[in-house]
């Protein structure tokens, strides 16, 4: 928790520095607040978004979405069952092992956890900086969860 | 411009003090150098290391380095941790691809720093297939000045050839790094034009400090006036924007901070950067002296060393001695880059003082 606070604090400082005309927002933020060192680190953003529904087509809120086996921040579906997960990674083909789990108890039904592999093959990046940051690639992934009886 | 801080810079540097403090607390490793060989195909006048053409030191086996990486993998995000093969000249090793594939499989981006002499189309393709993501090529001037420093009549041609090869690879990140010295100081515009003609977008400069072979070649160092003029040149060229020119990460520059590179000065050695040296030593940047070695992969766990040691890298107050003791800039530079400290921890070179010296001489 403390590490997350420190990281967010440094992102804020990076933003303030950008406002002062020091460095680009990307330069500081892209490397998780540490910036380019001697040679730069190739990086890219992968955005996975979509909707989580039941087998009956009902939207499911508060489903936890995370990329398993990675220490990435997780995300949750909103009231409309929609989610967005933004992952920083290496600008090449990627497989993200996603996990969709019901963590809020029976309040809106109980659902089985679902694992899914989201593959980016020859990803098309947008809004790169022409240098080390390739930009963002996105993919829509809708998920159906089975009820846990 | 001059080195005296403007209000805007002071605010920025004060904010950045907090950034550095947080980064020290995080101590998140995200950059690893591997000194994979001490062998080199050149015999340069200047070299940051003490490498030799025929080094007596054997190259570290790939398996040993990978074992160290596997040890530390659980405390880093591989996708955000760059591994850079350095030397010596990495391309003298024929098994870089073996190591590269192992790293790629584990999700690490990796790159090399090379003089370009051994880079051919075939080798480049082979490296790319092993996951090579980044290359830095050294180009230290136009023909005569580059070859003088590299002490090889073909090195300029080969370095330019290597740059041409790299520029044709669409997704590869590469930059050119130049050691600016008395011989090439008047060639900066010519070098820039050459790089632009080859499609180079990123150009980085550094200056020689008294380390390695440069200790014996005073002519490699710029005069104080030239030193200051170099930063004026970089600041001016950055505003033009036709090439992304920057000064290396090596020293605090007063009011030139934020003008000649993207980031404010922060020596990250041991804070987010580690290195594995040829004999297995675990250090921070590879050009730090032996007194900064924290362990050895053949005797210690890389992970344990990173988590439990590096105290003198993270708390720099012990560097507030000598010229730094009463210096108002210490709070911003924390004693300059650790690679500029000798075996006793004494500061060998202060960038800010050299710039100020140049300012005074210009006025006279």
Give the model's pLDDT for residue B133. Answer: 87
Token couple for B223: 């005069």
Q: 0.80 exceeded by the pTM?
A: no
Q: How far is B248 from chain A (nearest CA, A)?
A: 7
Of B18, B19, B109, the CB nearest to A42: B109
pLDDT of residue B110: 92
Residue B324: helix, strand or coil by DSSP? helix
Residue of chain B minimizing CA distance to A11: B19
- Give me the mean pLDDT over the A44-64 stretch: 92
Whether A43 and chain B come into contact, CB under 8 Å, resolves to: yes
Q: Which residues of B touch A (CB under 8 A)?
A: 8, 11-12, 15-16, 18-19, 22-23, 25-26, 28, 30-31, 77, 79-80, 82, 84, 107, 109, 111, 113, 133-134, 136, 171, 173, 175, 201-202, 244, 248-249, 257-258, 262-264, 266, 268, 272-273, 285
Predicted confidence (pLDDT) per residue in B191-225, tens digit: 999 999 999 999 999 887 655 555 566 678 888 99
From residue B359, how far is each of B4, B10, B184, B209 by CA, in Å?
A: 10, 20, 21, 20
Angstrom distance (rounded) from CA B235 to CA A60: 54
The H-or-E segment that residue A145 falls in is strand A143-145
- pLDDT tens column, B291-339: 899 999 999 999 999 999 999 999 999 999 999 999 999 999 999 999 8
Which of 116-145 (A) contact B at CB < 8 A?
130-132, 134
* Higher pLDDT, residue B154 or B144: B144
Contact criterion met (CB below 8 Å) for A100 and A59:
no
The whole-number pLDDT of residue A29 equals 28
Q: What mean pLDDT is reported for chain B?
A: 89
pLDDT tens for each residue of B222-273: 889 999 999 999 999 999 989 999 998 889 999 999 999 888 999 999 999 9
Whole-number Å distance between alpha carbons of B76 and A95: 19
% of chain B residues with pLDDT over 70: 93
pLDDT digits (tens, 9 = 90+) for B30-69: 999 999 998 876 767 666 554 444 456 789 999 999 999 9
Instruction: Determine whether the interchain pair A41/B109 forms a contact, defined as Cβ–Cβ distance below 8 Å.
Output: yes
| C-beta atoms surrounding B326 within 10 Å | 8
In this prediction the ipTM stands at 0.76
pLDDT number for residue A39: 45
- Among B7, B9, B19, B268, most A C-beta atoms within 10 A, so best to mutate, is B19
B264: which chain A residues are within 8 Å (Cβ-Cβ)? 17, 22-23
Quote the CA–CA distance of B148 and B183 in Å, as a whole number. Answer: 9
Distance, C-alpha B38 to centroid of its chain: 17
> In angstroms, rounded to a whole number, what is the distance separating the alpha carbons of residues B343 and B353?
21
């Amino acid at each position: 928790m403390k590490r997350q606070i420190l990281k967010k604090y440094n992102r804020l400082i990076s933003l303030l520095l950008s406002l002062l005309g020091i460095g680009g927002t990307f330069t500081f933020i892209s490397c998780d607040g540490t910036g380019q060192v001697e040679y730069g680190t190739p990086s890219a953003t992968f955005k996975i978004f979509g909707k989580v529904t039941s087998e009956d087509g009902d939207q499911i809120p508060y489903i936890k979405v995370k990329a398993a086996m990675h220490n990435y921040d997780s995300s949750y579906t909103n009231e409309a069952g929609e989610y967005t997960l933004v992952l920083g990674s290496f600008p090449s083909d990627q497989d993200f092992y996603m996990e969709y789990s019901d963590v809020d108890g029976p309040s809106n039904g109980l659902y089985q956890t679902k694992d899914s592999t989201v593959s980016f093959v020859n990803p098309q990046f947008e809004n790169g900086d022409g240098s080390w940051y390739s930009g963002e690639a996105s993919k829509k992934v809708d998920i159906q969860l089975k009820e846990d009886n | 411009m001059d080195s005296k801080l403007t209000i805007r810079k002071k605010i920025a540097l004060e904010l950045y003090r907090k950034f550095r403090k947080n980064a020290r607390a995080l101590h998140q490793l995200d950059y690893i150098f591997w000194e994979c060989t001490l062998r080199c195909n050149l015999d340069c006048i200047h070299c940051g290391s003490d490498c030799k053409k025929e080094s007596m030191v054997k190259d570290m086996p790939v398996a040993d380095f990978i074992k160290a990486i596997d040890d530390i993998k659980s405390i880093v995000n591989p996708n955000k941790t760059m591994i850079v093969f350095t030397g010596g000249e990495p391309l003298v090793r024929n098994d870089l691809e073996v190591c590269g594939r192992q790293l790629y499989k584990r999700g690490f981006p990796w790159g090399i720093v090379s003089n370009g002499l051994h880079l051919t189309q075939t080798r480049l393709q082979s490296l790319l297939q092993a996951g090579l993501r980044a290359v830095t090529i050294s180009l230290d001037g136009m023909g005569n000045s580059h070859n003088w420093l590299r002490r090889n009549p073909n090195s300029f041609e080969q370095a330019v050839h290597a740059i041409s090869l790299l520029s044709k690879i669409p997704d590869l990140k590469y930059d050119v790094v130049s050691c600016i010295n008395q011989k090439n100081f008047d060639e900066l515009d010519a070098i820039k034009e050459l790089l632009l003609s080859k499609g180079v977008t990123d150009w980085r400069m550094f200056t020689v400090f008294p380390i390695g072979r440069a200790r014996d070649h005073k002519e490699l160092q710029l005069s104080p006036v030239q030193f200051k003029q170099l930063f004026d040149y970089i600041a001016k060229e950055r505003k033009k924007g036709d090439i992304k020119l920057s000064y290396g990460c090596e020293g605090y520059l007063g009011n030139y901070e934020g003008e000649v590179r993207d980031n404010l000065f922060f020596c990250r050695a041991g804070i987010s950067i580690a290195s594995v040296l040829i004999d297995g030593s675990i250090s921070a940047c590879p050009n730090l002296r032996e007194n900064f070695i924290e362990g050895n992969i053949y005797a210690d766990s890389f992970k344990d060393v990173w988590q439990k040691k590096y105290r003198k890298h993270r708390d720099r107050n012990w560097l507030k001695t000598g010229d730094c003791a009463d210096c108002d800039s210490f709070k911003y530079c924390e004693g300059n880059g650790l690679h500029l400290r000798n075996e006793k921890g004494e500061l060998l070179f202060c960038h800010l003082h050299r710039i100020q010296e140049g300012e005074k001489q210009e006025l006279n």
